[in-house]
A and B are shown apart, each in its own frame.
Chain A
Amino acid sequence: MALYLTGAQGDGTATNPRRPKYVESFGVSWSAMDFGEAPVFLVSAVLSPEIEDTLVPNSDFAKVPVDLDQNLTSGQVTAWSTRLESLGLPAQWLDTGFTWRQVIRGVLAVFLFAQRAQVSIVQANLDQTFSQLSLAVRTRIIEAATSLGLSSAGVTGATPVRQVMRAIAVQWRNPIVIGEITL
């Protein structure tokens, strides 16, 4: 079983539910977590090497190394920072001191917060400040953090969006489980 970062498909109707791209077409069982309203999923599945080779060329598909307890290499830091930031996920904090488990846990903590917020804070310019977001979005972010028992005390109008998302997500204390993989 491995983890994959994929795009999303489907319009959210019963006949065409929103779901991760690619995996369903191979008839394999899978579990997935989504990045709130953003078209990004983290999928847990067992895909053959042949299937992985077919999917990896897609720009919206990436495989997480199976050994989650190894540290990122400098090349992986560069590649994954670019990939995650392009998806609206703050990733400037990545460095070779982190294991893949820590990185994916950090990503999924942002996913969980985005699920509760249910607003389009994602795929925004991560460098814009909190005050540049609409009042409705700012309110929803604070409400979502509060409802999850997470503090937003350090967030000011001058705080960059990337810092807001990261600061709230790092407070997630419970293990995150996806398809029997615990992060």
Chain B
Amino acid sequence: MSIQATDDFNRADNANLGSLWDVLTSANSFAVASNKVAPTGFAGGAFSAETYNGVTWIDAQYSQVKVTTDGTGNGFGGGPLVRGQAGAETAYVMAVSHTDPGNNEIFIYKRVAGSLTTLASAHKAWTNGDTFTLAISPNGDIIGLINGVAIRELIIQDVSIGSGSPGIAHINQSTTTTTLDDWEGGIPDQFYGSRDWSEFPKFLLRKDLGVR
């Protein structure tokens, strides 16, 4: 991964994330609280999303962030987003929560003009503070990783959203509390390696410490 931007959110509490972050149109914002960020949309199903504008992003990009939540299952939660479009409620989103028997904890969605479609889900236990990464290649190969490890069920291809910026998102379950911290955005390695992007998913599966 080639890091292009980071934000540890270590600054005074504020109602917004500052000038380097854009709230997606029609979405709720995030606020800085205790050197972390938290969504501000609290109605059931509220969508909060912001993208980082301090870099001119290419279509190949990744976003990663540490997640802490007391939420459980059923497709709600927070995490990284890629190809977010500030002028529309459009992005690929990874939403993470904890175990709820019978439900999966990790979801990859596409949100296109406010409409949400589930692209993948995985049943994986994890610990608060773990790092979640969402990466996308120019071809629309989308991969979800936990602590740098690619998850085989979170490999998908979708070309609905052709461009945008990385950032963070949260799909709210009104009774839960979620914070995100230590965000990082960049370009997946394979772009710089001049390798064939068609091998991108397999490359990550081999390269990133194995498969869970």
* 8 A Cβ contacts from B36-83 to A: 44-47, 75
Q: Are A178 and B117 in contact (CB under 8 A)?
A: no
Interface check A177, CB cutoff 8 A: yes
Binds A, one of B6-14, B15-23, B150-158, B177-185: B150-158
Contact of A179 with B120 at beta-carbon distance under 8 Å, contacts A33-B157, A112-B157, A174-B197 already known: yes
Choice from A10, A14, A115, A182 contacting B171 with Cβ under 8 Å: A14
Instruction: Verify A15–B44 contact, CB threshold 8 A.
Output: yes
Proximity string of chain B (131-161) to chain A, C-beta cutoff 8 Å, 1 when within and 0 when not: 0000000011100000000011111111110
Q: Chain B residue with minimal CB distance to A27?
A: B102
Is A28's CB within 8 Å of the partner chain B? yes
A45–B112 CA distance with the chains assembled, in angstroms:
25
Interface size, chain B (Cβ < 8 Å): 44
Is A2 located at the chain interface by the 8 A CB criterion? no
A15 close to B155 (CB less than 8 A): no
B117 touching A31 by the CB < 8 A rule? no
Contact B122 A29 (CB under 8 A): yes
Q: Are A31 and B44 in contact (CB under 8 A)?
A: no
Within 8 A of B (CB), among A96-149: 108, 112, 115-116, 118, 147-148
Q: Given A18, A29, A45, A148, which contacts B117 in the complex, CB threshold below 8 Å?
A: A18
Docked Cα-Cα span, A180 to B206, in Å, equals 12
